[in-house]
Structure 1
Amino acid sequence: MTADDSPAADTDSPADVAVEPATPDDRLDILRVLDAAMLETDADTVADRIAAGDALVARSTRTGGVVGALVATRPDPARLHVDAVAVRRSRRGRGIGSALVAAAVRRGESDSHVDRVTSGFDAELSRFYEGVGFSVDDDADEGRRVGRRRV
């Protein structure tokens, strides 16, 4: 995804939120959102994914503040993996997480090397990932699931 095909104007996003590629200035806000959701992602990984264009933020159109974040990794050239996605507690249940994942899928679709987007998550998130078009399978770890979506 380039700045030109940024999902900021995407109709999948809630009306008061713009989903867009993260900038280096967003790094601390991303870490705070992920930390509040008790997701472990180190600062160097976040900085690297921002530089690669594989980190997204959901930004309030009213305040400009980051209300959600997604960090994707590249375990291999053909796969974009949603490593972490989180939304501030006060903004959950409004479609922001779905908009972030949809933007990551579009990121994968825009990269000719990527043929699938994946994610690993707790079982209680299966319906969320199925709702955004992922097929969901059991993982080897008890209580974990793996979601896959071809792009």
Structure 2
Amino acid sequence: MTDVDDPGPLPAGVAIESATPDDRLDVLRVLDAAMLETDAAALHARIDAGDALVARFERTGSVVGALVLTRPEPERRHVDAVAVRRQRRGRGIGSALVARAVRDARAESGVDAVTATFDADLTEFYADLGFSIEPTGDGRARGRLTVGSATPDDA
């Protein structure tokens, strides 16, 4: 079993980093190739907010994977999309992207969970990373990983 705290080693020469505005088109291409619906304007806003990650092949600088987060509630980060180029799949890149997103969420004050909604065939991927899984009944599932504890108002 993989773990979000130790997703295993990345392939040599691949780095996970925050997406920049210059990565926008590459991120769109990676997500599009995975047949994930993406709103280009919303993606631009997510990149500007620091809520997008890329897996970059260091030798060429090419983006081989991407992850986009949303902030549906102040205390929760949601994996809106994660994809890896077909020829790079199965090497731990997707796990490393999710692990980095979880580490970043843990570092944010008041964030207590990372969630995801995904096709049921990805259940094992998220379960292996430690997400608790709940089927939605429509061929999809929801995952939740507690990353900290938001401080409730005492008022």
State whether TM-score is above 0.5.
Answer: yes
Per the alignment, residue 33 of structure 1 pairs with 30
Q: What is the Cα deviation at residue 14 of structure 1?
A: 2.7
In the alignment, is the contact (CA less than 8 A) between 2:8 and 2:92 conserved in 1?
no
Q: What is the Cα deviation at residue 15 of structure 1?
A: 2.2
Q: Distance in 1 between matches of 2:110 and 2:37?
A: 27
Task: Please show how residues 68-79 of structure 1 align to structure 2 within 5 Å.
Answer: 68-79=65-76
TM-score (norm 2): 0.87
Per the alignment, residue 81 of structure 1 pairs with 78
Q: What is the Cα deviation at residue 25 of structure 1?
A: 0.2
TM-score (norm 1): 0.90
In the alignment, is the contact (CA less than 8 A) between 1:13 and 1:19 conserved in 2?
no
Per the alignment, residue 145 of structure 2 pairs with 149
Q: Which amino acid aligns with 1:148?
A: R
Q: What is the Cα deviation at residue 113 of structure 1?
A: 2.1
Q: Distance in 2 between matches of 1:71 and 1:14?
A: 21
Task: Please show how residues 1-150 of structure 1 align to structure 2 within 5 Å.
Answer: 12-139=9-136, 141-150=137-146
Q: Deviations over 1:56-88 (max 9, x none)?
A: 000001211000000000001011000000000
Q: Distance in 1 between matches of 2:32 and 2:92?
A: 20
In the alignment, is the contact (CA less than 8 A) between 2:10 and 2:91 conserved in 1?
no
In the alignment, is the contact (CA less than 8 A) between 2:56 and 2:64 conserved in 1?
yes
In the alignment, is the contact (CA less than 8 A) between 1:108 and 1:117 conserved in 2?
yes
Distance 1:116 1:12, change over 3 A: farther
Larger RCO (CA within 8 A; separation ≥ 6):
2
Q: Which amino acid aligns with 1:60?
A: F
Q: Distance in 1 between matches of 2:94 and 2:83?
A: 7
Percent same amino acid at aligned positions? 66
CA RMSD of aligned residues (A): 1.3
In the alignment, is the contact (CA less than 8 A) between 1:68 and 1:97 conserved in 2?
yes
Per the alignment, residue 4 of structure 2 pairs with none
Higher gyration radius (CA): 2
Give the length in aligned residue pairs: 141
